[in-house]
Structure 1
Amino acid sequence: MTNFSGDILLGALFPVHERNATYECGRIQDEGVEQLEALLFTLHKINNDSALLPGDKQRFVGIFLILWPLSEDCALSQAFLRGFSSFSSQGFIARSSVGFACADGSSPAYRHGAFDRVVGVIGGQSSAVSIQLANLLRLFRVPQVSYQSTSPTLSNKHRFGYFFRTVPSDVNQAHAILELLRAFHWTYVSVVYSDTDYGNKGYDKLQELAARYRICLSNPQSIAADHYTDPDYDTVIRSLTHRSSARVVVVFADKGAARSLMRAAWRRRARFVWIGSDAWSGLESVAQGHEEVVEGAITVSPMVQPLNGFERHFSQLTPDNNALNPWFPEYWEEKFQCRLPDFQETPFNNQFRLWCPSGGRRPRPGYRGLQFVRDAAYAFAHALHDMQRDRCGSQHQGLCAAMAREMQGDALKRYLEKVSFKDEGGKTFRFLPSGDAPPRYSILNFQRLDNDSGAADGGAPRYAWRHVGSYSLGDDGEAKLDLDLEALRFKADEPRFPHSFCSAPCRRGQAKLQLEGDTCCWLCSNCSQYQYLADEFHCRDCPMGTVPDPESKARCLPLPEEFLSYGDPWAIAALAVAALGAAAVVFVALVFRSYADTPVVKASGRELSSMLLLGLLMSYALTPVIVAKPSAWSCALTRFFLGLCYAVCYAALLCKTIRTARIFGGGRRRLRYTSPRSQLLLAGLLISVQATLAAAWLMLEPPSVAHVYPSRARNVLVCQGSDRASYLLGLVYPSLLIGVCTVYAFKTRKCPEGFNEARHLAFANYTTCVIWLAFLPLFLLSGSPTIRTLALSFLLSLSGAVQTACLFAPKVYIALCKPAKNTREGVMTHHHGGRCAAVGCAMHPPLALNNLAKADNLDNMAAEAAAAAAVANVKPHRGQSKTL
């Protein structure tokens, strides 16, 4: 470990040593030392930047360095775990727990009691190290910025919420390759990938994203580079050539596998457009010896910018003037293969026999990508600068109390998420929502050089990688592919790139029928009349009540709703019948009102007749509700009043017949509850039963509307359940009332004509039953919602018309046309000779007169009728008229 003091500390991790099976630390690793020096160089620039982090410019930002041995096939080493555990125990745990104590029980006194604030960590390099480091740092809510880890796993913000990186994820490379394919309209390509973590994850991401770009990946070939021989590579090329339509091959492989693949293509004289990943992009060694096969290849690689001023700075470093880096002497010895007199002996420098000279040697950095280390440091610096400005004010110098309290954890993380600055290329750098760096890639094209003097002289032609474009995300987050199409070239003898597709796109409304053995080639098939194109491969039936969109065939549109409107001819007929019936009821009511004191009206029972007329009017008034557009309200009213209007009518009729039967069949008993008020109360109780049942039905099964489909091309709006027999539950109770009423009408058939409605009531009931018997099959068996609705409305109107004609028309006729019969004598006339034997008209005359005279609420006509019935119990004298 080492540290470089400052008001704010950053942890940093670099792979200074290689991993070694024998020793804890292996050989010095050049790239780790160069990355460390790049960070020190960057921190020096930050601390000397007058526009960034105002304060003591020599001490504002420092680093606390942890260096660990690294190899490509291992995770965190024991050295790293020990080092970072010490770092975390002295820093993060100590500040997170007041009760933290050292191993010997003493209080922590890190850095001689002056605990500097460690606010974040820069590193690690490999994804394996960064994943384990991120799992540890998130426990202490410490932000981490990696400069080289590219695994897509680290983009998961749910697992790694405090992780950021200044390099793009490998996911973005897949996007760049697919964007390149789409730009050339290459929709059918082959894929070759190495059987490594790099190749497998790259292929998986290509396969995951290909559908989004409408590109088919055909004939994937996996290469086990450690086991493949030349015949195996020849087999891969032979398989690629069998797909004659796939002229483009994406190679997501390491450089060794790519080189062997190109050599096999050269042996078989294969001619493809190669699309390469960053592992072999721009490498001369891949094409060496078979350039004519690689010619035309297009590859992507991360956009690299030189770190301005660093090469000059690094070349001036020596073991004598670089005291900040304790590993620089070891780097010097390994670089120049010599020994330094004052440096300790290691297992790796004891083989050097020469002493290093005092001067004249200048190291040169060889690692590309040092700007990513620089960006990591500047990300922290700008985040801290923004925090200082917000917490301390723009004029404050150094740390303030408010910033010191909120500098760790979530607060700094939020500023890192919003940080923005210029990178070495002058472009704006900011983290994506996933914590990744903006994806920036160079597009390279392997070309034969123009004006090649060697080829002109008969020598071998020369080739080179040429920069032909770039891929990046714009400030608005949109992917941007810039290609110099004039600079791009396939072959010297074929400058234009070939097409690469299997089947032409299908027309609108056609589905692709994939050919067996290849999912990227298809035949086109038309969808049927009522099918839509669910995706490019499948036709699906539209749901009932919908039809395919005639424009796109890619969705289903609802059919227009059908319902019985007031403008329909049948609806007009139903409304007209109901209106005539309602007018007839109103006419009868007016006649009864005008002739209220006449015997014929009195004998019919004015109160119950009024109730009967009200029920008839309700039945006619329900027709406009039934034929209206179905809604929750109209459905509720229909279900409630369908049975209620019948219940009102037959409750009134039942009370009338019961009253007549009791008056003329009471015998010697005293009559009770025969007054109009009692009759109305009884009718109200009978009606309340129906109202209660209907209300309970509505609560148990709330009214709603539904759609029914008599045919595939129709969408009919109806009340929920109107197509089922249960919709007629409201008529069960009125049916019982009709039956009881008919029984009592039969029992009173021989009473005086003015009080006896048995014949008319029986005829009305018989006719109603006939209407119902005709209606029920029509309602239950018809498949047309319109017919069921009309049947229901005509049922109400016809039933009401029968009752109006049978029960009221004779009385209206007598009142208007036969006033001579509208007398007491006419009302008291019997239909047949004899007594009212059917109801037991055996009442003793004096007792009958006495009982009826004491009935306070019986009207005069009823009293007279009862008296007549009592007299009728006495046999008339011979020759006496039977008319009283």
Structure 2
Amino acid sequence: MLALSLLIVTSFSTAEASLFANVTGDIILGGLFPIHRKGSGSKPCGKIQMEDGIQPLEAMLYAVGQINGNPDILPGVRLGVLAYDSCDNPSYALEQTLNFVKGFIAHVNEHHKPEFQCTDGSLPKYRGGDFDRVVAVLAEQSSSVTIQVAALLRMFAMPQISYMSTTPSLSSRDRYPHFFRTVPNDVNQAHAMLEILREYRWTYVSLIYSNTEYGVNGYETLLSLASSYKVCFTSPQRVDKDAFGPQDYDKVINFIRKKTNVRVVVLFAEKVSSLRVMDAARRLKLGSYFVWIGSDAWSTNNRRDFLNPQPSRRKDPDKQVVLEGALAVQPLSHNVFGFDEYIGSLGLEHEAVDPWFREFWHEYHKCDDTNPTVVDEDYDESAPRVSQETGFKQNKFAHFVRDAVYAVANALHNLYVDRCGRGHRGMCQAMRHIDGSTLIGYLANVTFKDEANNMFRFINGTDGPPRYTILNYQRSTNGSYHWHVVGNYTQKEDGTSKLVLNKEKLKYRGTEVNGFPSSRCQEPCKPTQIMIREKLDTCCGHCRNCGIYQYKVGEHTCEDCPRGFRPTKDKLKCSPIPEEFVDLTSPWALSAVAAAVVGILLTSFALSVFWLYQTTPIIKAAGRELSYVLLFGTFSSFLMTFAIIRQPDSETCAITRFGIGLCCTLCYAALVTKTNRIYRIFNNVTNSPRKPRFTSPESQLLITFLITSPELAINAIWLKKAPAEVVNSYPTRDRNYKICKGFDDSSYMIGFIYPIFLTFLCSLYAVKTRKCPEGFNEARYIAFTNYTTMLLWMAFVPLYLSSTSNAIRAVMLALSLSLGAFVQLACLFFPKIYIVLRKPEKNTKQLVMSTHRNSSYLPTSTTPIVATVEKSKIEC
């Protein structure tokens, strides 16, 4: 038994005396426990709470005694306790907390900024000085009380550790920067409850919650998370333990029963409200109709008072049947080792330690005037003690009190090592003054082994580890009722959570395993469908398929996929439409490639013939250099096919945009230069020995380059201002083409504006040179070439613009360039090649220089044409 001393002090800060336990020590831990229930009327306190009040206090005293006897924690330093009764009453708890505040003010007055002193010049002490050494307060069980206390202690930077308050709002470091708790946040509990609902596919569920901080926060958390678990809470019901009577609770149960398909009810309320809901269900004979799922407050508190009464009390089978098959979620707990023996060793002499122990003893043993088993004055040592044989059962959250004490003790030990040094024993001067702001940093990072030998640490520097036990209330074969552990819900170090249920142990009613009823408004929609909610009950509705180009957003909405995307098979998201390119195995692409290959071969053949026979009259008359330029342009036109139909990238896009206009420009620039040269020579046939200017091969190449330069400038500026890039084109909702930017909006036609102008200019010179000598007169060939090219483009442009297939557009563009090049080969080169190869007898100077029958350049005795041509060096 703890060797503790008690100081029972009367406080006259209020009209009535206030008891508190003062265990002397070098460092003091404050405590605030609901020793009594909340009173009614003007009374702040009611009946004593044996489990929820006395046990947590005794658990704290027991843990402090263990630490004081442990040489590895705060060696030579003794922890003390100052504990008050909060009566589970927020306003009364604040009055009691003021005692810690006054001690804190005295501590600040002594160690920081002295503002008060006694008449003899000494510094004042509050109640002898023990309150000055309080470094942290263990408080409280109820979330509503805890929040009030936390708001007050925050102003004085005093650490507060709760052993049972689970409301999520307490996790806010902005609002409660000095608050800690050894239990997990209710958000984790809500996840655990929803995991159970999802496991059994209970999608249509009712919810009852209390009108308190605990109940409202639990309700809001469940509601915010429900959709992600595909659970819908229909018409949640709020109960008020202070304002509701039995008829009000009956109305709540009857309202839920009217929901035909609701068979599962989630109860998120404190002990009193939970008991009254159960009583209403029992009165209405509906207790066995529902599957109840309870929160931690429901499952931990009422198992003794409501379901497992002490042997001395008469069991009520109707109450037990109400909850048969119920499931409950409670923080994972373990019995505190040695605590049962500690309680069993206590007698009335412990009143010197716990000022409320005599009241507890009388209530536990039902002592009255007719049952003098225990008397105050002459206590019989053989009287029955508190033990399991007499109905004692350790509270399931006693170990959370133990964890709170050990958290502060280990944080103080780490501070002690830093200030006093490792190996030091007893209090050092540096530990005489401990600021709350300093201890908070050590608390946030403390680690130690809990009662189950698991590593304990505060999650996010505030909450206890999220570990829960899943319980199932079952009737055994002998007719007794008990809670059975059937699973757990834990969160791993990486933040992922997992629900584990042993379904072979789960029972609903009787001995049937897994005989739970269904709780759905309707059969679930197919994975690819959404549910259209009804107006009267938003949890119910009918299923509908999303559109062909829509995907599911949640369970009730469809949205269109962005352009270029289409829904996946499961309709849960959109995936990019596969990019399409010109299929090189398609007949269209093969035709374009075949035409280009044939054209390249024919162009190479023509070039080789012109090279081999370049000294013959007909080749010389054709203008060898310009012919080579023309052949190069023709050759490039065929090569463009491979750039156009290749998979687009920035390089091929730049080549295509630059090349398709340049090829045509190069060809017609050479033709314009050629026809202009002939025109100028034969329009200047005189007796003057002076030849026309700029008719030499070098001049002709320069003129060709100058004529081509505008196209080069246009393309260069165009590429500079709008660099070539690859974009996606969507001619239809289910087609996605990867193309060069501008290919789908005909802006590529800009490159053909200048070549078209050269085509008309070339046609004009062809007409003007139609009466030149036979070997120089290519007017009809050039004219035919131009007319044919124009017809090809007139046919190509409408087809190009009207086509919705980018693949066909690319093939048409390639074929058009190839056909234009074929026309040039056929009209301008093949006639000469035919004469060179098949009619060599016509490849003479006399025949080349012979006049056309309609020629106006008739020879005279003084100015023969041959002489003029020779003078002009037209043969080069």
On whether the aligned pair clears a TM of 0.5, the verdict is yes
Whether the 8 Å contact between 2:158 and 2:437 is mirrored in structure 1 is yes
Aligned partner of 1:311 among 338, 343, 348: 343
Whole-Å separation in 1 of the counterparts to 2:544 and 2:863 = 97
User: Corresponding residue for 2:369?
Assistant: none
Q: For 1:400-549, what aligned pairs fall within 5 Å after superposition? A: 413=441, 416-417=444-445, 419-423=447-451, 429-433=456-460, 435-439=462-466, 451=478, 466-469=483-486, 471-473=488-490, 478-481=497-500, 488-490=507-509, 496-507=515-526, 509-525=528-544, 535-538=554-557, 549=568
Q: For 1:277-296, what aligned pairs fall within 5 Å after superposition? A: 277-281=295-299, 282=302, 290-291=318-319, 294-296=322-324
Residues 1:647 and 2:665 aligned together: yes
Mean Cα deviation higher: 581-590 or 517-526: 517-526
User: Corresponding residue for 1:235?
Assistant: 251
Q: For 1:188-199, what aligned pairs fall within 5 Å after superposition? A: 188-199=204-215
**TM-superposed deviation, 1:862:** 6.3
User: Corresponding residue for 2:675?
Assistant: 657
User: Corresponding residue for 1:828?
Assistant: 849
Distance 1:658 1:789, change over 3 A: same
Distance 1:389 1:741, change over 3 A: farther
SS in 2 for 1:148: coil
Whole-Å separation in 2 of the counterparts to 1:198 and 1:44 = 32
Whether the 8 Å contact between 1:295 and 1:490 is mirrored in structure 2 is no
**TM-superposed deviation, 1:673:** 4.0
SS in 2 for 1:749: coil
User: Corresponding residue for 1:87?
Assistant: 104
Residues 1:582 and 2:600 aligned together: yes
Whether the 8 Å contact between 1:417 and 1:435 is mirrored in structure 2 is no
Whole-Å separation in 1 of the counterparts to 2:233 and 2:318 = 26
**TM-superposed deviation, 1:590:** 1.5
User: Corresponding residue for 2:266?
Assistant: 250
Whole-Å separation in 2 of the counterparts to 1:186 and 1:781 = 56
User: Corresponding residue for 2:185?
Assistant: 169
- Deviation track 1:341-368 (CA, whole Å, cap 9, x = no partner) reads xxxxxxxxxxxxxx99698899989995
Mean Cα deviation higher: 395-404 or 381-390: 395-404
Amino acid at match of 1:311: I
- Deviation track 1:795-838 (CA, whole Å, cap 9, x = no partner) reads 1111111112222223333333444443444343333556569x
User: Corresponding residue for 1:601?
Assistant: 619
Whether the 8 Å contact between 2:48 and 2:360 is mirrored in structure 1 is no
Whole-Å separation in 2 of the counterparts to 1:538 and 1:313 = 64
User: Corresponding residue for 1:689?
Assistant: 710
Whole-Å separation in 1 of the counterparts to 2:431 and 2:641 = 78
Amino acid at match of 2:251: T
Mean Cα deviation higher: 586-595 or 62-71: 62-71
User: Corresponding residue for 1:743?
Assistant: 764
Whether the 8 Å contact between 1:749 and 1:758 is mirrored in structure 2 is yes
Whole-Å separation in 2 of the counterparts to 1:685 and 1:90 = 97
User: Corresponding residue for 2:4?
Assistant: none
**TM-superposed deviation, 1:705:** 3.5
Whether the 8 Å contact between 1:603 and 1:861 is mirrored in structure 2 is no
Whether the 8 Å contact between 2:31 and 2:138 is mirrored in structure 1 is yes
User: Corresponding residue for 1:325?
Assistant: none
Whether the 8 Å contact between 2:143 and 2:214 is mirrored in structure 1 is no
Residues 1:379 and 2:407 aligned together: yes
Aligned partner of 1:149 among 145, 165, 169: 165
Identity within the alignment, %: 37
Whole-Å separation in 2 of the counterparts to 1:770 and 1:73 = 96
Q: For 1:632-781, what aligned pairs fall within 5 Å after superposition? A: 632-665=650-683, 671-709=692-730, 714-781=735-802
User: Corresponding residue for 2:645?
Assistant: 627
Whole-Å separation in 2 of the counterparts to 1:318 and 1:464 = 34
**TM-superposed deviation, 1:440:** 5.1
**TM-superposed deviation, 1:561:** 4.2
Whether the 8 Å contact between 1:166 and 1:376 is mirrored in structure 2 is yes
SS in 1 for 2:234: strand
Residue ranges of structure 2 left out of the alignment (5+ in a row): 1-19, 308-315, 363-374, 387-391
User: Corresponding residue for 1:458?
Assistant: none
SS in 2 for 1:597: coil
User: Corresponding residue for 2:221?
Assistant: 205
Whole-Å separation in 2 of the counterparts to 1:492 and 1:818 = 112
SS in 2 for 1:251: strand
Amino acid at match of 1:249: V
User: Corresponding residue for 2:16?
Assistant: none
User: Corresponding residue for 1:344?
Assistant: none
User: Corresponding residue for 1:222?
Assistant: 238
Whether the 8 Å contact between 1:191 and 1:220 is mirrored in structure 2 is yes
Aligned partner of 2:836 among 801, 806, 815: 815
User: Corresponding residue for 1:796?
Assistant: 817
- Deviation track 1:611-638 (CA, whole Å, cap 9, x = no partner) reads 1111111001111222223333322221
**TM-superposed deviation, 1:401:** 13
SS in 2 for 1:696: helix
Residue ranges of structure 1 left out of the alignment (5+ in a row): 323-327, 338-354, 453-462, 853-859, 868-884
Whole-Å separation in 1 of the counterparts to 2:871 and 2:174 = 91
Q: For 1:93-172, what aligned pairs fall within 5 Å after superposition? A: 101-103=113-115, 121-125=136-140, 127=143, 145-156=161-172, 163-172=179-188
Q: For 1:385-404, what aligned pairs fall within 5 Å after superposition? A: none
Q: TM-score, normalised by structure 2?
A: 0.75
Mean Cα deviation higher: 280-289 or 596-605: 280-289
Distance 1:294 1:408, change over 3 A: closer
Whole-Å separation in 2 of the counterparts to 1:40 and 1:698 = 84
User: Corresponding residue for 2:590?
Assistant: 572
Q: How well do the aligned residues superpose, as a CA RMSD in angstroms?
A: 5.3
Q: For 1:544-555, what aligned pairs fall within 5 Å after superposition? A: 549=568, 552=570, 554-555=572-573
**TM-superposed deviation, 1:152:** 0.8
Amino acid at match of 1:652: A
Whether the 8 Å contact between 2:64 and 2:79 is mirrored in structure 1 is yes
Amino acid at match of 1:196: T
Whether the 8 Å contact between 1:262 and 1:293 is mirrored in structure 2 is no
Mean Cα deviation higher: 29-38 or 624-633: 29-38
**TM-superposed deviation, 1:165:** 1.3
Whole-Å separation in 2 of the counterparts to 1:778 and 1:295 = 78
Whole-Å separation in 2 of the counterparts to 1:118 and 1:596 = 115
Whether the 8 Å contact between 1:119 and 1:408 is mirrored in structure 2 is no
User: Corresponding residue for 1:272?
Assistant: 289
Mean Cα deviation higher: 596-605 or 641-650: 596-605
Amino acid at match of 1:247: R
SS in 2 for 1:518: coil
Whether the 8 Å contact between 1:156 and 1:434 is mirrored in structure 2 is no
Distance 1:176 1:529, change over 3 A: closer
**TM-superposed deviation, 1:779:** 0.5
Whole-Å separation in 2 of the counterparts to 1:654 and 1:410 = 93
Whole-Å separation in 1 of the counterparts to 2:514 and 2:822 = 93
Residues 1:863 and 2:872 aligned together: yes
- Deviation track 1:639-680 (CA, whole Å, cap 9, x = no partner) reads 121111112112222222333334444698985444333332
Whole-Å separation in 1 of the counterparts to 2:716 and 2:419 = 68
**TM-superposed deviation, 1:210:** 3.1
SS in 1 for 2:236: strand
Mean Cα deviation higher: 540-549 or 825-834: 540-549
Distance 1:149 1:268, change over 3 A: closer
Q: For 1:39-50, what aligned pairs fall within 5 Å after superposition? A: 39=60, 41-50=62-71
